Structure 1
Amino acid sequence: MSTEKKGKELLIGAVVGGVLGAAAALLFAPKSGRELRSDIAEGAQSVSQKTQATAKAVSTTTVDLVGKAKDTAVNVVETVRSWRGASTEEAEEIDDIEASEAAEDLVILGR
């Protein structure tokens, strides 16, 4: 087993243990049911807000990357067509489908 895999398993174990420990502390703490439910609701709301903020950031970044990939794909297609000696009319016939397919290829290659 490689040290990288061992480190990854240790990290996963630490995170799971931390979550279970926090849950146990909440459940066994000397609080009333109302206080405990309030604490759990606040924690859930906090996690929900952080998740929404992260999802929005990922969405914005993804939209930016897709736009850049499409621009790059159009430039690549135009450059390749110019290398092949294509006329100006042929170079202007680049449609959205070709650009989108090239952008998808670039995104897949970039992973």
Structure 2
Amino acid sequence: MATETRRSGFMLGVLIGGAVGAVSSLLLAPKTGARMREDLSNRYRSAMDKTREWASAATDKTKDMANRVANRASDLMDQAEEGKQQMRDTMHTAKDAMQDRTRDMEGDRLDSGTSREADRPASRPN
């Protein structure tokens, strides 16, 4: 970001310096008034054309960067959603496995004739 700011400042300085130099050379050169006005007009149009080209290029680059950022953000959101769904699936699978195991253990206890109360240690009176 700082590099872009320096680059923009440099380009602005080049543009302003070029304009000042062009105007100075026109004003200091011995020419007729009509010729000088024509030269100034031509230089002004040329500077405006270059400025429009630079602005257009900057706009295109900005749009391109915004599109890339949006696409990357969309990809990351998709990946997060996939990860979230995988986690849900894993949790449901683990929950189902635990419930199945609990049912199996309860069935084994019932088949062996023991109950949960028999598995617990007897409480001692105080």
* TM-score interval, smaller chain: 0.5 to 0.7
Q: Does 1:61 find its partner at 2:72?
A: yes
Tell me, yes or no, if structure 1 residue 77 matches structure 2 residue 88.
Answer: yes
* Pair 1:40–1:67, CA change in 2 (3 A): same
- Look up the SS of the partner of 2:73 in the other structure: helix
Task: Work out which structure has the larger RCO, using CA pairs closer than 8 Å and 6 or more positions apart in sequence.
Answer: 1
Structure 1 segments of 4+ aligned residues over 4 angstroms from their partners: none
1:21 and 2:32 matched: no
Q: Look up the match of 1:40.
A: 51
Q: What is the TM-score normalised by the length of structure 2?
A: 0.50
Q: In the aligned structure 2, how far is the partner of 1:54 from the partner of 1:69?
A: 22
- Map Cα deviations across residues 48-72 of structure 1 (whole Å, 9 max, x no partner): 1111111112222222221121111
Alignment of 1:95-106 (within 5 A): none
State the distance in 1 between where 2:84 and 2:4 align.
41
Paired positions, count: 76
Residue in 2 that maps onto 1:8: none
| One-letter amino acid matched to 2:72 | T
Q: Distance in 2 between matches of 1:45 and 1:53?
A: 12
Q: TM-score, normalised by structure 1?
A: 0.56
Structure 2, unmatched stretches of 5+, are: 24-42, 100-126
Distance in 2, matches of 1:41 and 1:61, equals 30
* Cα deviation digits, residues 15-62 of structure 1 (max 9, x gap): 544432321211121272111111111001001111111111222222
CA distance in structure 1 between the aligned counterparts of 2:5 and 2:71, rounded to whole angstroms: 30
Unaligned 5+ runs, structure 1: 1-10, 88-111
Distance between the aligned counterparts of 1:15 and 1:53, measured in 2?
Answer: 16
Partners in 2 of 1:85 and 1:74 — Cα distance? 16
